[in-house]
Amino acid sequence: MEILTDEREGDISISENLDENGFPFLPLSPESESRYEETDGSILAVDGSFVSDFYGSGTDWSCLREGESDQKKLELERGTDWSCLKEGESDRKKLVQRDLFQMWGFKKRGGPSECRVSSPPAMKREKRRINGHDSISDWAGRKVPRLGKEKTAEHCVGARRACPFYKKIPGTPFTVDAFCYGLIEGCEAYFLSHFHHDHYGGLSKRWSHGPIYCTPLTARLVKMCLSVNPLFIHPLELDTEYVVEGIKVTMLEANHCPGAALIHFRLGDGRCYLHTGDFRACKLMQSHPILLSHRVNVLYLDTTYCNPKYRFPSKEDVVGFVARITKSTLAKQPKTLVVVGAYSIGKEHVYIAISKALGVNIYTDASRRRILQSFGWPELSGKICSLGQSTPLHVLPISSLRPESLQQYLKKYGEQFTAVLAFRPTGWSYSEAIGNQLDLIRPSSKGNVKIYGVPYSEHSSFLELRDFVQFLKPDKIIPTVNVGNAANRDKMQSHFREWLKT
């Protein structure tokens, strides 16, 4: 209890109940609903809030990892030249006899010597401090942003903060999607779940903090788009068990964007952790051999839509709907330009389906063509073309799916196209009234531009999350999204308890 009491000293909170590590405070006030007891150094919770579930893990987390002998550091089953890793190895410390709090970067604030700040620009720091008596500072005087939402942490606003606890895998020298915290003490392998900016943020050609593990497709994108030194990148094939730093690791298809993986860790003592990265749970996952043969003890869960109001159709249904609308629109108005909005990667199956339904190619700009070609998907590569005039199906950045921008875009093609039919595929296109009934979706129209928001989600719906969790029956769930708000955390935790009731 002492450690946690110390943590509350000073004005260091960055959110009502999370410290700057994204770690929940213990409520200590008398009116607090939670109660805690200390038993042989571990903290046990008596009630059922997020914090209590969180601290009261019921597992002895101390003594997480023995000091390593001089045994081979990397024992991947697949042949790779690891010699590059020797460089800078002296920087990497081994994890020896640490408790859970240390493991997760939760340490007593002892002063600058304990702060792993890689020389933040002093002037910037000063500048940010100027405007705000109400601004919140950490012990070093840096203004630390409020963690209103997970996104803030993912985007590493106020970078060089300590890595949040939920990005570290206890009992291993691993982190997941933690590239924007500089060198993380004790981390000997940095896992990347998928190639979206809010997860790879911090990776650049100057990356030198340690080896990066990801799927082969993600590896290609990291090299191609971010120019990361290939010597740091270690692709792991899906559905193949590797041994990394003595831990068994398997990448599973995440049903998110191309290359996205669930990461399964199997420790020497038999404990299993599953980190979902971002994913859309589906029945197929429940037949994966590794999930059937080894029960997951701790689940790091993508809780983006962990709220019963999020009910959206399957991707297949949405794709079918989009194809139907497209066909009927083109039958009535043959000179229609069909536009699909997309971020860097993801949502490919929406335009692949339209391409199939209409029997047309897919046009997009050179930078996206390069990325899509790198997937190595024959059914996609063969359909991509570099001339807008040659096909009525175009893929544009989702940010340009506004009526004015699309009218401008249409003008470029003169008489060839006279109207635009656009689709904005996102989970946020759900509506409580519409729910699963796609036929109720109405487009927004302005002049000759029609835009459909379609609930094509690459994250699990509430019921998909429930089904997945009830299949896994983990001992413990650590949400990784929407954790910046105490009310959200408690709500999610109460869903988890409901789902896992015996």
For DNA, which stretch binds (CB under 7 A), given 76-84, 144-152, 468-476, 490-498?
144-152
Q: How far apart are CA 65 and CA 56, in angstroms?
A: 20
Binder of DNA out of 43, 217, 481, 492 (CB under 7 A):
481
Per CB under 7 A, does 157 bind DNA? yes
State the residue for tokens 């719906």.
Answer: 461
Taking the least distance from each CB to DNA, the nearer of 266 and 347 is 347
Letter string b/e over residues 287-309, b meaning 16 or more CB atoms within 10 A of that residue's CB: eeebbeebebbbbbbbbbbbbee
- Residue of 74, 117, 136, 159 that binds DNA (CB under 7 A): 159
Contact call for residue 435 and DNA (CB under 7 A) = no
Binding status of residue 427 toward DNA by CB under 7 A: yes
397 contacts DNA (rule: CB under 7 A): yes
Question: What is residue 67's DSSP assignment?
Answer: P
Minimum CB distance to DNA, residue 141 (Å): 14
Site string for DNA, 340-379 (x = CB under 7 A): ---xxxx---------------------------------
Is there a contact between 433 and 440 (Cβ–Cβ < 8 Å)? yes
CA distance 68 to 329: 64
- CA torsion angle 409 413 417 419 (round to 10): 20
Smallest gap from residue 64 Cβ to DNA (A): 29
Binding DNA (rule: CB under 7 A), the pick from 73, 109, 146, 149 is 149
Closest to DNA by CB, 153 or 325: 153
Which tokens belong to 276?
A: 């979902």
Are 366 and 386 in contact by the 8 Å Cβ rule? The answer is yes
Find the shortest distance in angstroms from Cβ 249 to DNA: 23
Please tell me whether residue 495 binds DNA under the rule CB under 7 A: no
Of 31-39, 148-156, 169-177, 319-327, which segment contacts DNA by CB under 7 A?
148-156
Nearer to DNA, 34 or 215 (CB): 215
| Beta bridge partners of residue 238, listed in sequence order | 251
Helices 348-358 and 315-332, interaxial angle, to 10°? 40
- Please, are residues 153 and 159 in contact by the beta-carbon 8 Å criterion? no
C-alpha distances out from residue 239 to 192, 194, 206, 215, 297, Å: 16, 16, 31, 10, 19
Binding mask 110-139 for DNA (x = CB under 7 A): ----------xx-xx--xx-----------
Q: Please say whether the beta carbons of 339 and 413 come within 8 A.
A: no
Residue number, 157 or 463, with CB nearest to DNA = 157
Element housing 493 (H / E) = helix 486-500
Cβ(393)–Cβ(243) below 8 Å: no
Cβ 243 to DNA shortest distance, Å: 30
Binding DNA (rule: CB under 7 A), the pick from 86, 133, 206, 501 is: 206
Told to check if 404 binds DNA by CB under 7 A, we report: no
Size of the site for DNA (CB under 7 A): 41
Residue 405 in the binding site for DNA (CB under 7 A): no
What is the closest distance, in whole angstroms, from the C-beta atom of residue 42 to DNA in the complex? 33
Q: Which residue in 426, 448, 460, 493 binds DNA (CB under 7 A)?
A: 426
CA-CA distance, 44 to 53, in Å (whole number)?
9
Tokens found for residue 52: 């209590």
Minimum CB–partner distance for residue 415 and DNA (Å):
28
To DNA, the closest distance from the beta carbon of 478 in angstroms equals 17
Tokens of residue 412, six digits: 């470029």
158 lines the binding site for DNA (CB under 7 A): yes
Is 283 a binder of DNA (CB under 7 A)?
A: no
- Please state whether 450 falls in left (phi above 0), alpha (psi between -120 and 50) or beta: beta
∠ CA 78-81-84 to the nearest 5 degrees?
135
- 85 vs 401, beta carbon nearer DNA: 401
Q: Are 159 and 202 in contact (CB under 8 A)?
A: yes
Does 72 sit near DNA (CB under 7 A)? Answer: no
Cα–Cα nearest to 363, from 413, 402, 317:
413
* Shortest Å distance, C-beta 204 to DNA: 3
Q: How far apart (Å, rounded) are the C-alpha atoms in residues 326 and 223?
A: 36
Q: Cβ of residue 279: shortest distance to DNA, in angstroms?
A: 10
Answer yes or no whether residue 259 interacts with DNA by CB under 7 A.
no
Residues contributing to the site for DNA (CB under 7 A): 120-121, 123-124, 127-128, 145, 148-151, 155-160, 196-198, 202, 204-206, 256-257, 278, 304, 343-346, 397, 399, 426-428, 458-459, 481-482
